[in-house]
Amino acid sequence: MAKTTVATLPPLRRLSADEAFVALIIAAMEANDHSAPEEAQRAQHIVHSMSRFRKRGDAVGRLIFDMKQMRREHAPDAIIAAACRAIPPRLRKSAFAIVADIILADRRLQGIERRFLSSVAKQLDQTPADTNAILDAIRIRRGA
């Protein structure tokens, strides 16, 4: 019987905090396997308004390109887990708020997006109370 080979993915390297933020932003846009125009617009606004990216010009575009390329080479769950680990503890609430803001940009929360948010909240060590408070604040801001 012939032996079949299974393609193996390259190992996922440790992400920097900047890479982790961008990876989570991309994952949030694609949480339900497509990106609504409102989500893409909100993600772009968030990236360009974050002080850590504001004056980095082309470097931000390259970072986004690199994280999209990583998504082609690795399973999304592995990237999300690596990104959550790379976010410094003091920035984890903010990271979750950014992810939730993008997902709720179209004012809809589908089941797959709800599961995605739940998973990210757990991986970022967010309490249910903090998670709900962030989601409530975003809903109020969006007029939901």
Query: pLDDT by residue (tens digit) across 115-144?
Result: 999 999 999 999 999 999 999 999 898 776
Residue range(s) defining the domain that contains residue 26: 17-142
| Residue-wise pLDDT tens digits, 19-54 | 999 999 999 999 988 888 899 899 999 998 888 887
Does any domain span residue 106?
yes
Global confidence as pTM: 0.87
User: CA torsion 140→23→8→13, rounded to 10°?
Assistant: -130
Structurally, the chain folds into a number of domains equal to 1
Does any domain span residue 7?
no
**C-alpha–C-alpha distance, residues 117 and 103, integer Å:** 8
**C-alpha–C-alpha distance, residues 113 and 95, integer Å:** 16
**C-alpha–C-alpha distance, residues 43 and 99, integer Å:** 9
Does any domain span residue 2?
no
Does any domain span residue 59?
yes
What average pLDDT does the chain have? 88
**C-alpha–C-alpha distance, residues 86 and 22, integer Å:** 11
**C-alpha–C-alpha distance, residues 66 and 46, integer Å:** 18
Read off the CATH number of the domain in which 129 is found: 1.10.3680
Q: Which two tokens stand for residue 49?
A: 């308004």
Does any domain span residue 6?
no
Does any domain span residue 101?
yes
Does any domain span residue 4?
no
